[in-house]
Structure formats: C-alpha cells, structure tokens
Structure 1
Amino acid sequence: MGISKLTTDKVKERVDIEEVVGDYVPLKKKGQNMWACCPFHNEKSPSFSISPAKQIYKCFGCGKAGDPIQFVMDIEGIGFTEAIRHLAGKYGIEVEEDETRTPEQDQAQNERESLYIALGFARDFFVKNLQSPEGKSIGLSYFKERGFTPAIIEKFDLGYALDGWDNLLKEAKSAGFQEEILLKSGLILQKEGDASRVYDRFRGRVIFPIHNIGGKPIGFGARILTKDKNQPKYINSPETAVYHKSDVLYGMYQAKKAIRDKDNCYLVEGYTDVVSLHLSGIENVVASSGTSLTDGQIKLIKRFTDQVTVLYDGDSAGIKASLRGIDLLLEGGLNVKAVVFPDGEDPDSYSRKVGTQAFQDYLQENSRDFIGFKIGLFQVEFAKNPIRKAEVIREVIQSIGKIPDPIIRSVYAKEASTLLEVEEDVIHTELNKSLIKTQKDQYQKQQEFPTQESPFEEFLPTEEKSSFSEILKVQEREMVRLLLNYGWEMLDQEELHLCDYLLSETEELKFETPVFEKILITYRQILSRGEVPTVEFFIRQKDEEMRQVVIDLITPRHEVSTAWHEKHQIFITSETDNLSLTGFKTILRLKRRVVQKMMEEAKLKIKTAESEKEADLNIDELQRIYFELKKVQLEIDKELGIVIG
C-alpha cells in the first residue's frame, strides 16, 4: 500500500534538514548556514551547504540539491515513499496507509521497498530462531561462548538460521511474500537445472545482519559452526538492488555516532571483531567483512571522520599483503594510523584475552602513523640489504604521493627522511617524480573519459563563454534570483512588492534560458490565482531541472562574517539594504544585455546585406535601428554609472 497524504504532510512539517543530514555527515556552523564535505563526491574543503532557515541543502561542487526528503532519497538510493517511511520512523510519526490505492497499484509498488520489507522479515525470523530449541543449543551457545551479552546480541540483531532446506521460505510464503522477491533479495536460491526447486540460502548458521546507514537490514553474513570441509566458513548475501558490497561497511550504522564523537574510525576485518570491540567499550569500529577496501567504503568513512586506524592481526605476511588498503585510504584524503596485535592474535581474540581496560590501553599505546608503521614492517629486511632498502624507500614515497594535502605530504616526507636515514631533498625529488607521473596518468584518463560539465556552468560568466547571448543568461539568472529570494518584500516608500516591479518591467521580454522562462511563467500563474509563490512551492516541484535551479538560486555560496560589524565596527552594505535600487539596477543590467544582443543582431544583418548586396535588405534602415539601440544603451550606461571611452 502507499502512504496517505496526511502522513506525508506530517513528515514534511516535522523534518529538520540539520537533523537529517547530521545523521550522515558532521556539520560545522559558518554564518547562518551549516557546512560539510559533500557525501556525494570526494572533496577536501567543505562545499556542501545546509540552510536551516530554508530547509534545503546544496553542494557547490557537484550540484546536488534538495530538501530533507530528497537528501534521504539521494543518500540511501531509495524512492519517495520509502524516504517518507524512513523519516516517519525517525520522528516517531505513525504511518497511515492510503486505502484508496487499487490492488494493481499495490502489486506495482516499488521493488526496492519490497526487498527492504522481505529483508526485514528475514532479520526478525533469524532473531526469533535464537529462542527455538535448536537456536538456543547452537546459535545462542556460540554467542555466549564468545562473551556476547543479550544487549550486544540485540544491538546487532544477531540471529540463527535453522538447519533445514526451506524454513525461511515456508515462513515467508505463509506471510505473503512471493518467491520472486525472495530470490531478488538473495534469501533463497534456485537449484541448478531445475528452476522449480528453491531453497534457503542460509541454513544451520549464526547470522550477522548487515545494515545500511539508516539501520535497515540489506544483507546477511552467516557463519557455520560445524567443521564441514565441504562448506565455506562464511557465506554472504549476493549483490542486490539494495545491497552493494563495495559501498557498505559492517557496523557503520551502530558506529556512526561514536565515529563522529571520537573523530576516529577503527577498521577491522570481520563481523566478530566489530562486536567484540563494542563489548570492550569501543563503538567507533567498522569492518570491511574480509573484502578489499573500495573507494565507496572509503567515502563512507570520510562522511564521519578524516581519521582512520587500521587494526591488523598479528600475522606479518598477511599485513604486507594488505598494505594496498593503506594507500587507498591515503588517496581518499584520510589520515591513517595502524595497530598490530601480537602474533596469533586478532582484535576479537585479544580483546577477550586481556579484558576491556587493557585492550583499550593497548590501542592507545601501540597506534602508529602509517609512515612509522610501514617502515617498521620492513626494517629487519632492509637492515643488511641496501637494494631492499631502496625498494622500501620507493614504496614509502609512493604512499606519501597518494596524500592529496601538500602540507601533510611535506610533513610525512620529513618524517620518512629521518626514519629511513635518507636526505630530505632525495625524498622530495622522488616524490615530485611520483606526483608528476600520477598527474600524467590522471590527465590521460580524463582525455579518455572527459568529466561531465556542471549543470549550472552554462549560466556562469566565464572567459570561454563571453558572447552577449551567454552574458544575457547571467542577467536573466540574476533577475530570477532576486524574484525568488525577495519577490514578496515591500519596496521602500512604494506600495508594491518587488515581484510586481520585476514582473511588470519584464512583461514584454522572453527569456532565452528555457528554465528561467519556465520559472517566470510559473510565478506569474501562481500570482494570477491570488496565491503567494513561495520558495517551498518551487522546491517541491516534480520538474527536476526547475527544482535544482531554484535551490541553486536561493543558496548563497558565501556569507559576510558577523565579526566585521560586531568586532571591528565595519558596516558592509547588502542588496537588501535598498531593494528598490537593487531591483532597478538589476532590470537595467538585464535590459542593457538585451539591447546589446539586438545591436549584435543588427550588425550581422548589415554585414550580410553589404556582402550579398541584397536589395530587399535596407542597409540605411538597419543602421538607423543600430544607432537608436546605441542611444538606449548609452542612456542605460549613464544610469548605471558605466563610462566607456
């Protein structure tokens, strides 16, 4: 079923953009707005703006923009209805179903939403199985043996899959789930060569649900407890429409608040490592679940912190094999430290062995930055082998070269010089070679796969786009920006709104930029109905282009610091100090560009008439029109204070 309009309206009234975005990225206040590094693309300095007053977000880097509902849709990759359900759950709003929907509409509801429902059902089924006789004797006993408390078991939704071919399948079918959805969610399998035979994927195993950032189960990891050599120790859910392994870290839902608070993320390998660290009072921990680190997982960490500490098992061969992960973390703009456990120990076993306090002390005392850690790994190897030392130096320099920040690169180069007993100039020389090679590789890649132009670049006054037509777009944009931001403000000493003035002065103009013309037409239509054209109305339009442009126009890129006035008594005028003058000059600049474009068109017609000697083109008349337009331009220039020699 769908969601009633009443529920949707309640969610829209209750949601707060700062709270919603703050669940995913750390926010910092600057002026009236909040800022963060964009969760949708890689960046070093924050360009992601959140306006609590307008309840919108806007990234000036990648162009993403919208309201709280759109943010949840973008960040979770879900539809509108699903986003409303998500936010209703966050704010404790009861979801009322839309009873007017037809059975056909119910059947055609979003597949992703159906998958989430099926996966949630499976999670509850596995949790309930822990209380069955089989679940207690096998699953619950295993968890208790590892020291997992009832609170921890509940926190991670740990469960058990009964040892049978179709326990989940039968239960799900009796609850009304179709085989197609169960197959697409990865909960059941089809027998090879016999599509009619389906059975449970997870059987006779303890279950570790994998949650998305919002807390919904999207997949499962399952561990076998018997010593069956024909069965893998762990099996996991396959890739589905809602579960993409490369973008998920186990435990991130439970860890995100602690990662933000501690400004550090511990990175481990397996499910039990994460749970054991929580038992030791360390909640800012996630796992890559035994897979190699991916760009998506690194971006996920960077949403919450720039600091990551990798915890390695006490196995030097395994550590050396996984060093590639450190380079990826550095390349992703993270500051990396590492901790190595004693031989034969991993985070899970060592935390249980030494206890909570001793384990926490060990992490604090043995945390080393990646340079000292990497050099220490190979110190014994190159102590008596100069060739091996040269190889290690190059490997260390390559790692430093992955760091985007030049200042941090310089600091690590100095430290590497000291630890490796190599001249710092040599380190910098080799580092520069490495950086140049990287830049060449990136350039070649860009030539093969050119980046997409920003959706608003066509409106910017760049040198490459200096034609009168392009500059006219800039003035159209400015006029629409004023209309949207201050249209309903009263003009000083005049009994009319700014929107009345702007619209009357542009009544006979047709804007060349289609989206701006569309906004103007919509604005006029709303006014003609006797309604107020609010920004909220435009933001909630289904027209994606219009919605994105409106958000771009109402979101300021920079703010003047209050310190200018409060601390230094420096007063800076703003466009709102005299809206009458601001509106007047905006219209003049727009009309000036329109006149200049008409003059250019007249000049072209004169050239065409002269070159082709066409009798039907009256050159004298065209010249007269041109000079009349020139007079208009000069009058406008005089009003604007523009002096042209």
Structure 2
Amino acid sequence: MIPDSTITEIKNRIDIEEVVGDFVSLKRKGQNLWACCPFHDEKTPSFSISPVKGFYKCFGCGKGGDSIDFVMEAEKLNYLEALKYLAKKYGIEIKEEELSDDELKEQSERESLYIVLNFAKDYFVKSLSSQEGKSIGHSYYKERDITDDIMQKFELGYTLDKWDGLLTAAKEAGHSLDLLEKAGLVIPKDDRHYDRFRGRVVFPVHNVSGRVVAFGARALKKDDKPKYINSPETPVYHKSQILYGLFQGKQAIRQQENCYLVEGYTDVTRLHQIGIENVVASSGTSLTTDQVQLVGRFSKQLTVLFDGDTAGLQASLRGVDIILANGLDVKVVMFPQGHDPDSYAQELGANEFKVFLEDKAQDFIHFRLNLLAEEAGNDPLKKAAAIKDVVGSISQMPDQVKRTVYLQEASNILQIEERVLIGEMNKVLRQTSKSRATSAEYVPPPKEDVAPQQKTDATSGAYDLDNLITFQERESIRLLLQYGFSELDEGKRLHQYLFSEFEDIVFKDPVHAQIIQEFKDLLSTNKEIDAQHFIDNGSPEVRKLVIDITHERHHVSSLWKDKFKIRIPSETEASKLEHSAFTNIMRLKQRVVRKLIEENLDKLKEAQTVEEESEYQQMHHELKLTEKEIADQLGNVILK
C-alpha cells in the first residue's frame, strides 16, 4: 500500500500536459490544449485538457478526469498501478507499507505480467553478456552494424540456446509457472514446459508508455525455422494495437509532424542509428485501424517506406486505404529493387539516405494514379479497373474537400471526365453507407448542454421537464462548488443561501443528492470545500460529474436558451452571483412544481371515486398557487 504522503507528493508533481502528451499530440487553443481523443475514433479534436485545473474532458465520448484517471484509462491500470506509473515517470520513490494477505491477492494479473515480462527482458539483456551471448548474439548485432547505444536504447538481448534457461531463472526469482505461460514466455508440452525463445537475438516490444509487453526473436542458424518467433497474444499484448518503436520515437514523430512506417525491427533500429527517430514498424503484419489511430495521436502525416520488391506491391498499396480512412495524409517512398530501409541506409550512409527520403517521398494518391495509368496503358479493361481502384482509395478519405481535389487530379492523369469519377465515387460511398448502417458503430453520447430532441408523442413534455430539472440541479451543484464560499452583498456566504433554499427541494438525481449531502456534512469541519475535494475523494460517478461541471466555463446552447428560456448571467459581482443563484433555485422549484402538477393531473384523470377526484383537484389548486408565486418572483407568465 502506498502511504498518503507519497500519494500527495505524486499528485503535487503531476503535470497533466506532460502525462497526456506522452500519448497524443496536443495543440493549444487559448488556455486549454486540444487533441483527438485517444479513447475513441474521431477525426476532429474534441479532447480538451485544462493545465490550470489539471483535468481532461472528451466532449465526444464523455470521458474525463485528472492525470491519474487518464493513465488508468490509457494503460488499463488500476488506481495503485497508475500511481506507480506516475511515480516512476517523475522519479518519486515509493516505500510501500506492508500489504495484508487480502491485498496481496488483489494485486492485478496485468501488473504481475508486466513484472515478469520486464524480468525476461533483463534476463535476455544479461544473457547477451554471457560467453555464448557475446560469441553469437553480440556478433550478430555487430555484423549488422548495430551500435551499443542502439542496443541499450531498444534493450536488445539474446536468449541462450537452452530449453529452460529463462524458465529456471524465473522460477528461482519467484515467478510462477502459470504467469510465465500467460506472458507467452514458456510453452507447455507433455506435462513439461520449455522456453519459447531459444538461441535467438531478442527485440523487446514496448507499449506507448515504455512497458515491455512482448518479444520478437530472430533465428541465427540457417536451419532454425521460422526466421522470427513472436510473443502470442496476452492480456497485455494485442499485436494489432502495438507499433514497434513508437515509445522510442513518439517525441520525434510529434516534433517532425511525420511518421515513417517500415516493416521490420532492424529497419527501425537502423533509422534511429542514423538520426531518424520518427519511425515505427508494423512488424511484418498488415496495418490495422488501431495502429493507424495510434500514429494519429502524434502526427497526421504517415510516410510508408516500401521495400524494393515489386511482387505484391499492389496488395501493399491497397493496404494504405486504411490510413486514408482514418484521415491521415499519406506519402510513399519506393526503395530500389532488393533493398529495404535497413540495407539501403547502410549502403548510402546517413546524409545521403535522408536526402533520398526527402527527394523520393510522393503523395500516395499521385503515386497510385501514375502507377495505375502506366500499367493500364491503352487497355480499356485495365483502365476501367484502375479507375475503380483509385476511386476506391479516394472515397476512403473523410474530408470531402480532399476527395474533390484528388478526383480532379485523377481526371487529368487518367484522362477521363470528372463526372464519371464522381459518379463512381458516389456509388462507392452509397455502398459504404449501407454497410455501416448494418454494423456496430461508435455513437457519441449527446452533450449535456444540448437540448433533447423534440418528441411528437405525449411524453415530450415530461421528457423536457425531467431534463430541465436535471439541468437546474446540475447548475445548483456548479454554483455551490465554484462559488459556495463567495460572499453575497449582505455578508452571507452563497452556500448558506443555497442550503436554506435546498430545504424544500428533493434532488431527483442520486449523484446530485450525494454531493449536496456531503457538502453539507463537511461544513461542520469549518474547512473550505471545493471541487477538488470531490475529485480526490468522490465515487467515480461523483468525480465524473464534478469534472464535467468544472472543466471549463459553463455555457448553454442557443437551443436550450430559446426553447427553455434559460438565462445564465455573469457571476463576477456579488449582486449578480446572488441573482444567478436566486434565478436558478426558483427555476428549479418552478419545474419541480410543474412536474408535480402534471403527475397530479394524470392521477386526477384516473380517479376512481368522488373523494379521490376532490383530493386531486384541491392538490392541483394548491400547486397552481405555488407555481404562480414562483412565477411572480421570476416575472414570468404562467399558462392556465
């Protein structure tokens, strides 16, 4: 267990801009920072970070919180693990208090997997310094001209040519056989287990925050098959969501606003060695949507480096469509026949290779158009196929302006009327739209400051009232948290006025009611209470609500203002603050009373006896009088 003093130190040292900036590329707009949300697929940034308040909030998927919440969500960690992650980032030593047996059992499997994978990485690095490692593993790296600095940077290693080298060392260190198997480090066979990786050089695979999640191991003997053995999928490793080298290259990718995509581990290490750090590898697998979105957090430009192998080039080019579909700009570089980035960088040297990349980078659509036009020649069937091919790629772009520009260029290069291309693209878009309509898509929840859609059935009035009551309750919470200890004109604190009015109000929303009650209870401690208290100590539901309310200046959409006559005056002066609080409380009471009137009228319609009817009529009369009193104070006209 981490002592409270250490937790406080961690929270005081945290810089949310630094924490979130490790995962996404941030752009400053005014006081806040913005990015595309790392937690859902989006093309337009709706993810906002307030460095002053230390909060983040996505207005697309609704997720929000502080730095600890972000790390928990981004890394899929629990609270304790997130604290350890941040402590390591900021160089804070953690001296844990002794855990009880129950707490020890609750140590997460994920954290245990990270620990054993890190142990394996250290074992492989250490094995590289053994006699066998030096003569075989180290020799391989030197033959490939991989420097010691690069070996240390990527934590490259070697695994001894033994059936149980890692297994024995891990068990001696106290790691369980079950955990080693779950981490993909050992393989069971005939009631025994043996090492997955033996007699190979090892490339640790890191996630975006630098934790080892898997390994790739290359054979050194010609008769060893396959050439590469990779870790299997585990609870902490999903190969479709990982890019080799992203951890080491993310800062350069952000700074260069471009990411080079290569195929293999040694392509990445070679480019780093010559000073090109903005590079990642798909590790020989087809690029996935998750991987593209991962790159998109740091750059909207992806340059694909294709090996000089023309066989299968068209299939590789079609794989680029997934990049276009995610809104990234794509360039391509073709290498000479028989070369890949690793071999060609060794042949040219650092300076000439960098010039080569700059000179040979072509816009992907232009490259594709010219390649298809050359292949089609005067063959009408090939030309028709080329048109469908390139239109299919252009239609993937979410930006309509880009689609239009590229269609015009396609018309010029392929020498075909633009209207034909537009017709073909519309056909593709219609087909895509139909397929999406039948598939599960991400649908962002409605923003809380947007009015509900008008309904045509009899429930629309009740629906609007329920939402209005919720809105006014939220506004009461906001006023209490942001201005509760502000002084009004007569010297009274705002919280005193609010709680005197809350006495005849029952808050419908349980989270709202919980905050009101806790705030009231805390007043007896004579401490000033603010939003941060609830963020630090509240339940997940309370934390989310408070962060939503306090993340930025409250505003109301014009639709709400026009439809529901909501008025939020400026609260810079005591008199205006008091007026705002008064108006909100009276609006809340007015809508609660209107809700009671509607419920009472429903009961009146269903009255079974004269006595019941008389009782409900009397209640209706009293409620209408109350409604009129409130309206008089607000200056409203009440409909009969």
TM bucket, shorter chain: over 0.9
Contact 1:459–1:473 (CA under 8 A) maintained in structure 2: no
Q: Which moved more, 1:248-257 or 1:375-384?
A: 375-384
Question: Compared with structure 1, are the counterparts of its residues 513 and 13 closer, same or farther at alpha carbon in structure 2 (3 Å cutoff)?
Answer: same
Q: Kindly provide the amino acid, as one letter, of the partner of residue 508 in structure 1.
A: D
1:332 aligns with 2:355: no
Other-structure match for 2:418:
424
Contact 2:373–2:413 (CA under 8 A) maintained in structure 1: no
Contact 2:43–2:326 (CA under 8 A) maintained in structure 1: no
Q: Which moved more, 1:26-35 or 1:176-185?
A: 26-35
Map 1:403-418 onto structure 2 (within 5 A).
403-418=397-412
Contact 1:459–1:474 (CA under 8 A) maintained in structure 2: no
**1:6 offset after TM fit, Å?**
2.7
Question: Compared with structure 1, are the counterparts of its residues 119 and 537 closer, same or farther at alpha carbon in structure 2 (3 Å cutoff)?
Answer: same
> Alpha carbon RMSD of aligned pairs, Å?
2.2
Other-structure match for 1:291:
285
Secondary structure of the residue aligned to 1:342 is coil
Other-structure match for 2:8:
9
**1:215 offset after TM fit, Å?**
0.9
**1:157 offset after TM fit, Å?**
0.5
Q: 1:271, 1:352 → 2: CA distance? A: 15
Other-structure match for 2:108:
110
**1:343 offset after TM fit, Å?**
0.9
Runs of 5+ in structure 1 lacking a partner?
561-571
Q: Kindly provide the amino acid, as one letter, of the partner of residue 215 in structure 1.
A: G
Map 1:66-215 onto structure 2 (within 5 A).
66-99=65-98, 101-103=99-101, 105-191=103-189, 194-195=190-191, 197-215=192-210
Secondary structure of the residue aligned to 1:97 is coil
Map 1:208-607 onto structure 2 (within 5 A).
208-228=203-223, 231-445=225-439, 449=440, 454=445, 461-464=452-455, 466-467=461-462, 468-491=465-488, 493-541=489-537, 543-556=539-552, 574-577=570-573, 578-607=576-605
1:125-177: CA deviation from partner (whole Å, max 9, x where unpaired) = 11112211111111111111111111111111011111111111111122221
Q: Which moved more, 1:354-363 or 1:253-262?
A: 354-363
Other-structure match for 2:564:
none
Q: 2:264, 2:514 → 1: CA distance? A: 53
Q: Which moved more, 1:264-273 or 1:433-442?
A: 433-442
Runs of 5+ in structure 2 lacking a partner?
557-567
Secondary structure of the residue aligned to 1:637 is helix
Secondary structure of the residue aligned to 2:146 is coil
Question: Compared with structure 1, are the counterparts of its residues 267 and 634 closer, same or farther at alpha carbon in structure 2 (3 Å cutoff)?
Answer: same
**1:534 offset after TM fit, Å?**
2.4
**1:558 offset after TM fit, Å?**
7.5
Question: Compared with structure 1, are the counterparts of its residues 364 and 47 closer, same or farther at alpha carbon in structure 2 (3 Å cutoff)?
Answer: same
Other-structure match for 1:564:
none
Map 1:615-626 onto structure 2 (within 5 A).
615-619=610-614, 621-626=615-620
Q: 1:451, 1:268 → 2: CA distance? A: 30
- Number of residue pairs the alignment of both structures matches: 620
Question: Compared with structure 1, are the counterparts of its residues 551 and 104 closer, same or farther at alpha carbon in structure 2 (3 Å cutoff)?
Answer: closer
**1:443 offset after TM fit, Å?**
1.4
**1:187 offset after TM fit, Å?**
1.1
1:102-140: CA deviation from partner (whole Å, max 9, x where unpaired) = 355335421111111111111111111221111111111
Question: Compared with structure 1, are the counterparts of its residues 459 and 408 closer, same or farther at alpha carbon in structure 2 (3 Å cutoff)?
Answer: closer
**1:262 offset after TM fit, Å?**
0.4
**1:418 offset after TM fit, Å?**
1.6
Contact 1:486–1:498 (CA under 8 A) maintained in structure 2: yes
Question: Compared with structure 1, are the counterparts of its residues 482 and 461 closer, same or farther at alpha carbon in structure 2 (3 Å cutoff)?
Answer: farther
**1:377 offset after TM fit, Å?**
2.8
Contact 2:482–2:530 (CA under 8 A) maintained in structure 1: no
Question: Compared with structure 1, are the counterparts of its residues 31 and 634 closer, same or farther at alpha carbon in structure 2 (3 Å cutoff)?
Answer: farther
Question: Compared with structure 1, are the counterparts of its residues 557 and 156 closer, same or farther at alpha carbon in structure 2 (3 Å cutoff)?
Answer: farther
**1:631 offset after TM fit, Å?**
3.7
Contact 1:207–1:221 (CA under 8 A) maintained in structure 2: yes
Contact 2:264–2:284 (CA under 8 A) maintained in structure 1: yes
1:160-219: CA deviation from partner (whole Å, max 9, x where unpaired) = 11111111111112222111111111111111xx23x11111110001000011111111
Question: Compared with structure 1, are the counterparts of its residues 559 and 251 closer, same or farther at alpha carbon in structure 2 (3 Å cutoff)?
Answer: farther
Other-structure match for 2:55:
56
Contact 1:461–1:474 (CA under 8 A) maintained in structure 2: no
Q: Kindly provide the amino acid, as one letter, of the partner of residue 300 in structure 2.
A: D
Secondary structure of the residue aligned to 1:494 is coil
Contact 1:60–1:557 (CA under 8 A) maintained in structure 2: no
Alignment identity in percent?
51
Q: Kindly provide the amino acid, as one letter, of the partner of residue 596 in structure 1.
A: R
Q: Kindly provide the amino acid, as one letter, of the partner of residue 209 in structure 1.
A: P
Other-structure match for 2:565:
none
